[in-house]
Structure 1
Amino acid sequence: MRKKLIATMVAISLPCFVMAEGQMGEDILSRNDLWVLIAAALVFFMQAGFKVFETGLVKKQHRAGIGAKNLMDWVAGSVAFYILGFGFMFGSSTNGWVGSGLMMGDGLEINDSFVFFLFQLAFAGTALTIVSGAMSGRTALIPYFVASLVTATVIYPLFGHWAWGNLLHADNMPWLASLGFMDFAGSTVVHSVGAWIALVGVWVVGPRVGRYDKNGKIQRIKASDYSYSILGVMILWLGWWGFNGGSTLAFNTQVPKIILNTNLSAAAAAISAMFHAIVFQKKSNVLEKIMGGTLTGLVAITACCNVVSSQSSLIIGVLAGIIHNIMFVVISEKWKLDDPVGAIAVHGFGGVFGTLCVALFGQQELLELPRWEQLAVQCVGIVTCFVFTTLVALLMFYILRRTIGLRVSPKQESTGAFFDSEEEDGEEDQDSTTGSNIVHHVSAKVSNRGYNVYTVKEYVELSMDFRSSWEAADRIQYLNEEGYVIPVESAQKQLNEMVAVMGSHTTSTLKRVRIR
C-alpha cells in the first residue's frame, strides 16, 4: 500500500517537476554569473573589513564616527552610482571620455547586466571608503557625505570610464584603454583614485588637534584596539580573493592562479614590512607597518595578478612592504599629513607600484604592448589619475570648506561626537582651559553644522571679510596645543605680541585681525 502511494505521488509530481526544471533552465544563473555574484559579496564584505581595521587604529572616542562614515560611504555609493555613476563609467562612450545611457538602471534588464552592476558597485564602494579612514577623527559627517556623492557620481566613474569603459560594451573605445593601459582589478582605478582624494582631503581638513606640536613634531595618539585592526586586515584579505578573482568576470582556470598570486604578495609584504621596520626603522610602529604592509601587498598585486607568475608575486610583495614603510614615515613625519590609518601609503603608493608592476613583472605574451611601451603607457595612466583626481578633489573640498566647513567642533573632536544634536551648544561647555595657555589653533564655526581649524598663521592669512563675519557672530575659539579653549583676553594678548615680533609687513596684515 505504501509503495503504491509513493508511486502515485511521483507520477503526479513528475510533470510539475519537469516543467519547473524547464522554466529554471531559462532563468538560472550561469556558473560565471554565480561566481561574479559571490565575488561581489566578498568585495562588499570588505566594507566591514575597512570598518573594523580603521576603528581599531583611531582613538576610542572616534570609533562610532568612523563607523558611521563607512556606512554612509556605501549608502552614498549605492544611490549615486546607480543613478548616474554606472552610466558615466560603462555607458556608450562619447569620444572615449564619458559614457551615456544606463542611468537609473535603464538598460540593465536588456543587457542582463545586474550581476556586473553589483560587482562594479562593490568596487565603487571600496574607492569611497578609503577616504573615510584617512580623514577620520575630525571630519564632519555631512560634508563627508557630500564628498562621497561627488566621488561616486563624477570622480571615480569618469576615470573608470577612461580605463575600463569597454568592459560592458566591447565596442567602446575609452582613450586610456585604447592606448593599452592595463589595470586588471584596479590598483589605480580603485585604490589610487581613493587615495588621491584622501590625500587632498587630509591636506585641506588639516591634522587632528594635538597630532603635531608647535615645532611640527609628531605626537602619538593612542589607537583604540590593535587586535580589532588585525581582524580587519584578515577580513580584507579574504575579500581580496573576490576582488581580484572576480575581476575575471568568469569562473575559469585563471581564478585559482590569481587568488594564489594575491595571497603570496600579501604574505611576502607582511614579512618584508616587519623586518624592515625592525632593522631599518628602529622598531617604530611595527604593528601598524605589518598591517599596512600586508594591505600594500594586496593593493600592488591587484593590477597585475593575472599577468605575473607566482614567483614574481613574492617579489612584488617584498617590495610593496618596504615601499609602504618608507612612505608611512614620509607622509606623516616629512609631509606632516595626518592619516590615522595609513591609507595614502597603502592605496596611493601601493597602487602606483602595482600599476608599474604590470610592465615590470608581467609576462610579455600577456601584455598589450612591448614591455617598455607598456611601462610608458602605465605611467601615463598613473599621472592622469593623480592630476585629474587631485584637481577635482581640491575643488570639491575647497568649496565644502568655504561654505559649510569640513570639521566637527573642538568639543566634538575631543569627545568623538559627530552630530551637533549630540552636544547642543557644546562649544560653550569647553571654556575651562586645560594645559598651556599658548594659542596653537583657531577654530572657526563656518556654518551651523561645520567648522574649520587653522593655525594662527593660516587664520591671519584668510580674507578680512571671512574673519570679520565669524568674529562678529562670536564663532571663533582659540585653542592650545591639546585642543582646549583659551580665554579670549589671553589669546588677544598673545596675538598682539606676535604682531610686534613678526615685523612690519606681517604687522600690517595682523593689525587687520579684530580680536573679540
Structure 2
Amino acid sequence: GKTFGLIGASGFFLNNAVYDVGIYTLFLFQMVFMDTAATIPTGAMAERWKFMSFVLFAFFISMFVYPIFGNWVWGGGWLATLGTNFGLGHGHVDFAGSSVVHLVGGITALAGAMILGPRLKKYNSDGTANTLPGHNIPMAIVGTFILAFGWFGFNAGSTLAGNDLRIGIIATNTMLASASGAITAVVLHYARTKKFDPAMSANGLLAGLVAITAPCAFVNATSSFIIGAIAGPLVVLAYTFIDTKLRIDDPVGAVAVHGVNGFWGIIALGLFADGSYGDGWNGVAGTVKGLFYGDAGQFFAELIGGVACIAFVFPVMYGFFKLCDKLFGIRVSAEIEHAGLDLAEMGVRGYEDAEVIPANSPAMPVSENIPVTAMRTASPQQ
C-alpha cells in the first residue's frame, strides 16, 4: 500500500537504537545543515532583532520545522514517496538542500522580516526605499568566499561516501554555477545602474550556489552553468522587487538568495536532470531524469515539494514570530537600534573607535557604564 510519512517516530536524542558510527556521522553532518537553515534569517532581520528572540527561534526551527520537512524529503516521508506512490519520477529529489535548507531558511526569513518591520529610515513617507550602506563590504566579500569554499563540502559531502566518484562532477558543477551566477548578476546590475556592485556580485555567486545545491549530482556541466546564469538575474530582480515593491526590508537579500533561488534549484533539477545518476533513488528503479530528458513526473514532484515547503514553513514561522512579538516583543527599541546592538545586547563594543555613546543611554546598561573619557575617539586631544 501507499505510505505517507509525516514525522519521524524513533531515534530521538541519539539513544541506543541509533548507536552506530554512521548515524553519528550523519547527525553531525546534518547538524551543520540545520544550523545553516537557522542562520539564514539573521541576515534578513539584522540590526533590529533581539538576541534572546533569536535564541528561542533557533531552538524552534531546529527542533521542529527543519526536522519535519527534512523527514519529508530525506527521511522517506511523503514527498520522497511521490515516485513510489504516484509515479512522479523518483519523488521529490534534493541532493544537498536547495529546498530542505535554503528554501526553508529563505521562507523563514521572509516571515520574520514581515513581522519585524523595516529598519529605521529605510522607507520614506511616500513609500520609496532608501539605501542604508553596509558596514564593511570587503569583509562581506571575504565572508562570501568562505561560504563558497565551504559549499564544496556542503554539496560534494552529500554523497555521504568518500569513494563516490560523483564527487568530482559535483564539485565542478558547483564551481560553474557559482561563477555564472556572479557574472550574470553583476552584468544585469551594471545594465540597470551603470555600476559594478561588489555586493550584488557576491549575492549572485551565492544565488548560483543555492540553485545548484539540489541538482548538482544530476546535471551536466553545461546545465550547471545555465542554472547559475539564471540564478544571477533572479537574485537581482527578486531583491529589487522585495525591497521596492513589497517594501520588506531584507538588508542582505536573504529571501532573494535563499528563498527564490532555493525554489529555482529544485525546479532546475526537475528540468535538467540528465539521467546519468541516481539509480534507485527513493526506491524507484532507473536514474533521475528531468522534463528536458523525458520525465515530466520528476518536474511535478519537484514543484510539489517546493509548494509544500512554502505552505508548511511560512504559516508556521509567521505564526511563531507573531506570537513571540505579542508575548515579549522581538524587536529592540529605536534608541538601541540607532546606537547599535553590540553594546546593548552583548555588553561590548564591536569597534572601540566607534562613535561614543553617552553614559546612562538606553544602549548602555546602568550597571555597566563606562566613563566617556575612557573610550578612544577620533579626537587627537584625548
Report deviation, 1:354: 0.8
Shift in CA distance, 416/164, structure 1 to aligned 2, threshold 3 Å? same
- Aligned 8 A contact 1:270 1:291 in 2: yes
SS at match of 1:392: helix
Which one-letter code corresponds to 2:181 in the other structure? A
Superimposed CA distance per residue, residues 120-142 of structure 1 (whole angstroms, 9 cap, x where no aligned partner):
00100110110111100101011
Q: Which has the higher helix share?
A: 1
Q: 2:138 aligns with which of 209, 221, 227?
A: 227
Paired residues, number: 328
* In 1: Cα distance, 2:32 partner to 2:145 partner: 18
- Aligned 8 A contact 1:203 1:337 in 2: yes
Report deviation, 1:395: 1.1
SS at match of 1:250: coil
Matched, 1:260 2:169: no
Report deviation, 1:421: 8.2
Which one-letter code corresponds to 2:111 in the other structure? V
Report deviation, 1:145: 1.0
* In 1: Cα distance, 2:92 partner to 2:315 partner: 22
- Aligned 8 A contact 2:180 2:225 in 1: yes
Alignment-derived partner of residue 10 in structure 1? none
Alignment-derived partner of residue 387 in structure 1? 311
Structure with higher RCO (Cα < 8 A, 6+ apart): 2
Name structure 2 gaps, 5 residues minimum: 83-90, 277-286, 348-356, 365-382
TM-score with structure 2 setting the length? 0.82
Matched, 1:367 2:279: no
SS at match of 2:225: helix
Q: In the TM superposition, what are the counterparts of 1:47-66 in structure 2 within 5 Å?
A: none
Report deviation, 1:202: 0.2
Matched, 1:192 2:124: no
Shift in CA distance, 214/193, structure 1 to aligned 2, threshold 3 Å? same
Matched, 1:103 2:12: yes
SS at match of 2:248: coil
Q: 2:160 aligns with which of 249, 252, 263?
A: 249
Shift in CA distance, 122/339, structure 1 to aligned 2, threshold 3 Å? same
Superimposed CA distance per residue, residues 379-412 of structure 1 (whole angstroms, 9 cap, x where no aligned partner):
1000000010001001100110100101111111
Alignment-derived partner of residue 188 in structure 2? 276
Superimposed CA distance per residue, residues 109-167 of structure 1 (whole angstroms, 9 cap, x where no aligned partner):
2464111110000100110110111100101011111111100011111011000014x
Shift in CA distance, 288/110, structure 1 to aligned 2, threshold 3 Å? closer
Q: In the TM superposition, what are the counterparts of 1:163-242 in structure 2 within 5 Å?
A: 163-166=73-76, 174-179=77-82, 180-242=91-153
- Aligned 8 A contact 2:141 2:199 in 1: no
Alignment-derived partner of residue 254 in structure 2? 343
* In 1: Cα distance, 2:44 partner to 2:339 partner: 19
- Aligned 8 A contact 2:98 2:214 in 1: yes
Shift in CA distance, 284/394, structure 1 to aligned 2, threshold 3 Å? farther
Find the structure with the greater CA-based Rg.
1
- Aligned 8 A contact 2:272 2:289 in 1: no
Q: Which has the higher strand share?
A: 1
Q: 1:298 aligns with which of 180, 199, 209?
A: 209
Which one-letter code corresponds to 2:78 in the other structure? W
Report deviation, 1:371: 2.2
* In 1: Cα distance, 2:101 partner to 2:194 partner: 31
- Aligned 8 A contact 1:182 1:303 in 2: yes
Report deviation, 1:268: 0.8
Shift in CA distance, 324/112, structure 1 to aligned 2, threshold 3 Å? closer
* In 2: Cα distance, 1:300 partner to 1:343 partner: 13
Alignment-derived partner of residue 322 in structure 2? 398
SS at match of 2:193: coil
SS at match of 1:207: coil
Shift in CA distance, 258/329, structure 1 to aligned 2, threshold 3 Å? same
Shift in CA distance, 229/420, structure 1 to aligned 2, threshold 3 Å? closer
Alignment-derived partner of residue 147 in structure 1? 57
* In 2: Cα distance, 1:428 partner to 1:275 partner: 42
Shift in CA distance, 411/362, structure 1 to aligned 2, threshold 3 Å? same
Shift in CA distance, 285/348, structure 1 to aligned 2, threshold 3 Å? farther
- Aligned 8 A contact 2:48 2:341 in 1: no
* In 2: Cα distance, 1:199 partner to 1:285 partner: 27
* In 2: Cα distance, 1:159 partner to 1:421 partner: 33
- Aligned 8 A contact 1:356 1:378 in 2: yes
Report deviation, 1:428: 10
- Aligned 8 A contact 1:212 1:218 in 2: yes
* In 1: Cα distance, 2:310 partner to 2:363 partner: 42
- Aligned 8 A contact 2:177 2:212 in 1: yes
SS at match of 2:8: strand
Which one-letter code corresponds to 1:101 in the other structure? S
Name structure 1 gaps, 5 residues minimum: 1-93, 167-173, 430-516
Matched, 1:332 2:243: yes
Which one-letter code corresponds to 1:382 in the other structure? G
SS at match of 1:100: coil
* In 2: Cα distance, 1:391 partner to 1:308 partner: 33
- Aligned 8 A contact 1:364 1:371 in 2: no
Q: In the TM superposition, what are the counterparts of 1:442-453 in structure 2 within 5 Å?
A: none
Which one-letter code corresponds to 2:336 in the other structure? Q
Aligned sequence identity (%): 35
* In 2: Cα distance, 1:428 partner to 1:103 partner: 42
- Aligned 8 A contact 1:308 1:363 in 2: yes
Which one-letter code corresponds to 1:320 in the other structure? A
- Aligned 8 A contact 2:270 2:289 in 1: no
Report deviation, 1:426: 3.9
Alignment-derived partner of residue 138 in structure 1? 48
Shift in CA distance, 357/95, structure 1 to aligned 2, threshold 3 Å? closer
Q: 1:315 aligns with which of 198, 223, 226?
A: 226
Shift in CA distance, 111/309, structure 1 to aligned 2, threshold 3 Å? same
TM-score with structure 1 setting the length? 0.61
Which one-letter code corresponds to 2:7 in the other structure? V
* In 2: Cα distance, 1:285 partner to 1:223 partner: 16
